[in-house]
Structure 1
């Protein structure tokens, strides 16, 4: 059963006047098809609504990621920005974002979700995040700037910084971590890693 109030809290959005948008975003087509109270036509309509809001969120998220990287990371070069965007819009990252803020706990993903293979669960979770982005955008009357600011502050800044940190730790030998890199960390608002980090696997989302 979906829990819109829980999801609003997780999204840090106090008021959601068009709650039906959240209800659409939080109800996966598998759950819709399992609802025997709906006629086949109603199931089809609700599935189309879900797919539409998820596609909207996907397009918005991709554009907002591009805008964020242009504004904040263009000094790193086009190759790095391309790599960052590839990571940020991947189902793996979106699924981790969904789990990080427990969106899955406030949604209905269908009875068979736990039985799906990992790659299918990842796809379901990534679509859920995109659908929620679409719902937020529509709730705010298609205000791109407001939605972008919310997305950047709540999600993008932290994820981009962690990806950069992970790349640094992976590709720069610990022996080369010296004062020459401190300005780079400062300019990107990153915390300088200790050499102990080199022997540890880093998590994309540090709590």
Structure 2
């Protein structure tokens, strides 16, 4: 079956072979697909995503506790929040092309479900939960460390991008940046927004997202990366 071949392709991609293949299929089954095919309520990835969320939080908490021994509880909580936010998990899902393998309804597929951050982030947690059920906590930890706990500083940078960018420009001139909506397209159920970060006569960065807030966050993140790369050789 094509479905089995695709699942095998995913296993090879993430370098993990499921002992119980049904767990992998469950992790990839979106509720829309289950509803369309009149499957039982428990035959979608929502329950295993619930478990994966808890497993993920413990893995990350343990990692941060051991890695950042001088940070207090507040700092650790903020770091953890940045690593489990929807955008970060969706980004990790995209890194392993997880959307390609999801079982979605025809409608969800046609309206961009394979690229939707909410669906991808849930699926990533579902995959963690499935690995935990399949071979235990240690294998789940190995997966998370390999596909999430890389470039921690960059992931936390995105989470706080707007605040960090404001602090960067304030150090130079004490002014604020402006977020300007430049484009809004798509149907109401699948909007895409484009936002630019303006500072005086400069456009520091551009971002797109499914919400204005997400677009602003991406634009701020791109601005920070640009400023860091140019090492201060900008118009601010």
> Per the alignment, in what secondary structure is the counterpart of residue 148 of structure 2?
helix
Tell me which of 37, 44, 66 is aligned to 2:41. Answer: 44
Q: Which has the higher strand share?
A: 2
Larger relative contact order (CA 8 Å, sep ≥ 6) = 1
TM-score by length of 1: 0.69
Q: Deviations over 1:108-159 (max 9, x none)?
A: 23222256589x932211110011001111110x3x233213311332133x
Q: How many residues align?
A: 172
2:82 maps to 1:87: yes
Work out the CA distance in 2 between the residues paired with 1:139 and 1:21: 7
Other-structure match for 1:185: none
TM-score by length of 2: 0.61
Greater CA deviation, 104-113 or 25-34?
Answer: 104-113
- Report the RMSD for the aligned CA atoms in angstroms: 3.2
Q: Deviations over 1:11-58 (max 9, x none)?
A: 221x222111001111111112222xxxx4x432413xx221111111
Work out the CA distance in 1 between the residues paired with 2:156 and 2:88: 14
> Per the alignment, in what secondary structure is the counterpart of residue 156 of structure 1?
coil
Given that 1:74 and 1:81 are in contact with CA atoms closer than 8 Å, whether structure 2 keeps it comes out as no
The alpha-carbon distance between structure 1 residues 11 and 117, as it changes in their structure 2 partners (threshold 3 A), is: closer
Q: Deviations over 1:162-190 (max 9, x none)?
A: 235666974557x99xxxxxxxxxxxxxx
Tell me which of 67, 75, 95 is aligned to 1:72. Answer: 67
Structure 2, unaligned runs of 5 or more:
173-226
Work out the CA distance in 2 between the residues paired with 1:112 and 1:9: 29
Work out the CA distance in 2 between the residues paired with 1:51 and 1:198: 46
Given that 1:84 and 1:163 are in contact with CA atoms closer than 8 Å, whether structure 2 keeps it comes out as no
